[in-house]
Amino acid sequence: MENTRTLERRLGDTMRHKLPDAVAEFIMFVLKQGWACLYGGLLLIAIVLTQVQGDSEKVGLSFCRDDLDCLCAVILYEFNRPGW
């Protein structure tokens, strides 16, 4: 599996070859921002879902809601980091 830097380079080279420079740069900017927002969006969904779960201090096993949010943040970070 390619790392994200190699994939980004290949995609950028292909787009700059086929599209005008301004359009290619804009599309690459949007894709990079979308990738960066993925972590924040997924974490927000996890926070909202644990909040909707109820006013109970316990969610799932014996996890406090804040502990579950922290665990979700760590797991999402590990899957979203560039070297993965």
Domain boundaries, the chain: 4-80
The structure's pTM equals 0.57
Q: Above 70 in pLDDT, residue 62?
A: no
AA letter at 36: A
Q: What is the pLDDT of residue 69?
A: 82
Tokens of 80: 């979203």
Tokens of 24: 């290619």
Q: Above 60 in pLDDT, residue 56?
A: no
Query: Which residues, including other chains, have CB under 8 Å from residue 5's CB and lie 6 or more apart?
Result: 82
Mean pLDDT, range 15-36, rounded to an integer: 86
Report the candidate in 70, 80, 77 with the shortest Cα–Cα distance to residue 50.
70
Q: Report the helix count and the strand count for the chain, using DSSP H and E.
A: 3, 2
